[in-house]
A = this chain, B = another copy of it.
Amino acid sequence: MSESQQPTTTTTQQQVPKEKREKAPKVPKEKKEKEVKDQAKTKEARDKLNTAGVGKEEDFSEWYTNVITRSEMIDYYDISGCYILRPWSYSIWEQIQSFFDGEIKKLGVQNAYFPLLVSEKALNTEEDHIEGFAPEVAWVTKSGKSNLSEPIAIRPTSETIMYPAYKNWIRSHRDLPLKLNQWVNVVRWEFKRPVPFLRSREFLWQEGHTAFATKEEADKEVLQILRLYKRVYEELLAVPVVEGLKSEKEKFAGGLYTSTIEGFIPTNGRAIQAATSHCLGQNFSKMFGIEFEDENNAKALAWQNSWGLTTRTIGVMIMVHGDDKGLVLPPRIAPIQVVVVPLYFKDFDSAILDKKADEVVQRLKEAGIRAHLDNRTNYNPRQKYIHWELKGVPIRVEVGPKDLEKDVVMFCRRDNGVKESVANADLITTAKSTLDNIQVSMLERATKQRNESISIVTQWSDFIPSLDKRHICLVPWCDVPDCEEAIKKRSNEESLKQKEEAEKGFCLTGAAKSLCIPLKVEELRDVPAITNETRCFACERSAKKWTLYGRI
């Protein structure tokens, strides 16, 4: 990752946050700090202090809204379901783009740009596909004061936009594989309750669309891409995900099969689809006439894939790692990795502290660490701590008069609060190793918590109680669509706790559905192999696969 791709390294001045709600009170410092401490005991005080305001377990929904707005990730907008991605979140998206874009280019994928708008005719070409998206399509019907001759849709996804061109570009086996990607916005006018990052009416994503001569090549790429998605979550965002296949009912509309990575939010016990990589088979190539002449001059239909990763990534990361103080950002994607705070004291020349703090920041930056100096004079240290904790910066470095004397600085980790005195000579090596440690331990902690939230359920009677413990369930399943429909209906009816929890924002719906059939169930849990004797946990038919079920 090059320096220039780390957007915030060179722009720290701009990241000085805009503290609008609190002005520095004009009282002696000692008194101020004590007041702040005492006030923080009431909710109002916490709101005023611009912290997360409520505990994550106390009211998850309010906590999330407070954290994303007060940390300056998101601002609300006057159109419901649309949000403003401020630099603090957008730069995380830039980090994700930089990683993923580099990786797919290594696979031979090229970027392109296809139009935002799609004619009704093109959109309707693949029947199952349009059925899946029709209710969510936004239609343009007017320009200026004139009516358009026919309505034009805003892309909900671009299969039907790209594939008429693919038909023209692909003639011979020499034109294959064709591997294109675009980084764009899409609009899906959902009527479910919108949640910033997780479910918004407009979102940003990349969509890859590839075509191959053989099914083997397509199959292989589906999982290569899925693996990259897993790496985005695990290596960048420190969020564990399960690789698996979607059930027939949950697969992409019009495709052959869908592979998925599934995340988990312990606080509300909900699973969340983290990204999907679809094999479209020959369904779309048949409908769009994407044919090629093979090496024996025979006509054949292309095998196609499509795959997408969205700004949902950021929301999942926030929900998994955030705590009562606010965001906790994994170092690899944190816009600022280290914030340096000089501790001004009465009777001590602040210029000396400023000089030292600035020197620390410069050394960190030279070592490629995204560092920021907070030398604002209108906030006291405690206010600064609260501020940078809210924003989730991985390491805070304090520089005080006593540290100067001892030629040390004080490190404080955001993820676990551990403090450590670090000799100036060790600044860079300790900063690097601490950032690495934080990255690793955040993933470990989240993985442990996720694993502890998986129940193995072999009979229905254990299913709802497990879900109600905010668990997801690994079940032997028959893999029959009717059975999944029945599970969804029955789980919804039997979910008794649902209402209570809904009030605290923990539940969106009580129904459970299949999340995925894990590719490597053994990596999740040591379960017995499915045999001819194994029964489906829900319908008593023969079980086919260990499957993850959960509320979403």
A169 within 8 A of B: yes
Q: Contact between B90 and A111 (Cβ–Cβ < 8 Å)?
A: yes
Q: Contact between A180 and B87 (Cβ–Cβ < 8 Å)?
A: yes
A422 within 8 A of B: no
Q: Which residues of B contact A11 (CB under 8 A)?
A: 105, 108-110
Q: Contact between B109 and A14 (Cβ–Cβ < 8 Å)?
A: yes
A535 within 8 A of B: no
Q: Contact between A119 and B14 (Cβ–Cβ < 8 Å)?
A: no
Q: Contact between B142 and A138 (Cβ–Cβ < 8 Å)?
A: yes
Q: Contact between B169 and A20 (Cβ–Cβ < 8 Å)?
A: yes
Q: Which residues of B contact A90 (CB under 8 A)?
A: 110-113
Contact of A14 among B110, B116, B204 (CB under 8 A): B110
Given A110-B8, A175-B20, is A143 in contact with B137 using a C-beta cutoff of 8 Å? yes
How far, in whole Å, are A1 and B5 apart by their CA atoms in the complex? 10
Q: Which residues of B contact A121 (CB under 8 A)?
A: 78
Q: Contact between B111 and A91 (Cβ–Cβ < 8 Å)?
A: yes
Min CB distance, A135 to chain B, in Å? Answer: 4
Q: Which residues of B contact A75 (CB under 8 A)?
A: 165, 168-169
Given A90-B113, A91-B110, A112-B87, is A4 in contact with B5 using a C-beta cutoff of 8 Å? yes
Contact of A143 among B101, B136, B145 (CB under 8 A): B136
Min CB distance, A358 to chain B, in Å? Answer: 17
List the number of copies, as a whole number: 2
Interface size class of A (residues with CB under 8 A): 35 or more
Q: Contact between A112 and B136 (Cβ–Cβ < 8 Å)?
A: no
Q: Which residues of B contact A171 (CB under 8 A)?
A: 18, 20
A437 within 8 A of B: no
Contact with B along A510-539 (1 / 0, CB 8 A): 000000000000000000000000000000
Q: Tell me the A103-128 residues at the B interface (CB within 8 Å).
A: 105-106, 108-119, 121-122
Contact of A142 among B19, B117, B139, B175 (CB under 8 A): B139
A152 within 8 A of B: yes
Given A84-B113, A98-B4, A112-B85, is A144 in contact with B135 using a C-beta cutoff of 8 Å? yes
Min CB distance, A93 to chain B, in Å? Answer: 8
A257 within 8 A of B: no
Q: Contact between B179 and A116 (Cβ–Cβ < 8 Å)?
A: no
Q: Which residues of B contact A202 (CB under 8 A)?
A: 115-117
Contact of A2 among B2, B85, B152 (CB under 8 A): B2
List 9 additional A-B contacts (Cβ < 8 Å) besides A138-B140, A154-B154: A18-B174, A20-B171, A79-B117, A86-B112, A90-B110, A116-B154, A134-B144, A137-B143, A144-B189
Q: Which A residues are closer than 8 A to B by beta carbons?
A: 1-5, 7-8, 10-11, 13-16, 18-20, 75, 77-79, 82-87, 90-91, 93-94, 98, 101-102, 105-106, 108-119, 121-122, 134-145, 151-152, 154, 164-165, 168-172, 174-175, 179-180, 184-185, 187, 189, 202, 204, 378
A-B contacts, 14 listed (Cβ < 8 Å): A2-B4, A4-B98, A4-B101, A18-B171, A18-B175, A19-B174, A79-B152, A83-B115, A84-B114, A87-B180, A116-B187, A116-B202, A136-B143, A138-B142
